[in-house]
């Protein structure tokens, strides 16, 4: 779709990192709720709590200036900003469930 829309300087790397981060967040939530905690889940949680905000903050900042170029830049910008809300809600739910 990005190629079809002929987007100038598409945020491919930012989208890949966003999908990976949100996918990791989903896996940690599902592990907490339904499965047994493991060392891999601990590594994922470490990334999501320590490195995830840094990565998503950089993504949000980089796409802030370019958010008017295309809908993909704007969505990536909002995904970077929304991560902080999702992380806070996920940590709150994890403490309630545990």
pLDDT at 38: 84
pLDDT in tens, 65-97: 887 787 878 888 888 888 888 888 877 877 776
Question: Do 97 and 35 form a contact (C-beta atoms < 8 A)?
Answer: no
Question: Do 70 and 63 form a contact (C-beta atoms < 8 A)?
Answer: no
Q: How far apart are CA 73 and CA 80, in angstroms?
A: 11
Residue 44 pLDDT class (50, 70, 90 cuts): confident
Structure tokens that stand for 23 in this block: 């996918």
* CA 24-76-68 angle, 5° bins: 175
pTM of the model: 0.79
pLDDT in tens, 6-27: 777 777 888 899 999 989 888 8
- Please name the residues in contact with 28: beta carbons below 8 A apart, sequence gap of 6 or more: 41, 44, 45, 48, 90
Residue 98 pLDDT class (50, 70, 90 cuts): low
Q: What is the mean pLDDT of residues 34-59?
A: 87
Structure tokens that stand for 87 in this block: 């992380």
């Amino acid at each position: 779709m990005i190629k079809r829309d002929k987007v100038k300087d598409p945020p491919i790397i930012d989208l890949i990192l966003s999908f990976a981060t949100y996918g990791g967040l989903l896996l940690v939530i599902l592990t907490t709720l339904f499965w047994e905690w493991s060392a891999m889940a601990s590594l994922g949680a470490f990334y999501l709590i320590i490195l995830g905000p840094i990565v998503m903050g950089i993504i949000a900042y980089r796409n802030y200036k370019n958010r008017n170029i295309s809908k993909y830049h704007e969505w990536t910008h909002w995904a970077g900003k929304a991560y902080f809300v999702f992380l806070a809600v996920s940590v709150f739910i994890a403490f309630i469930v545990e």
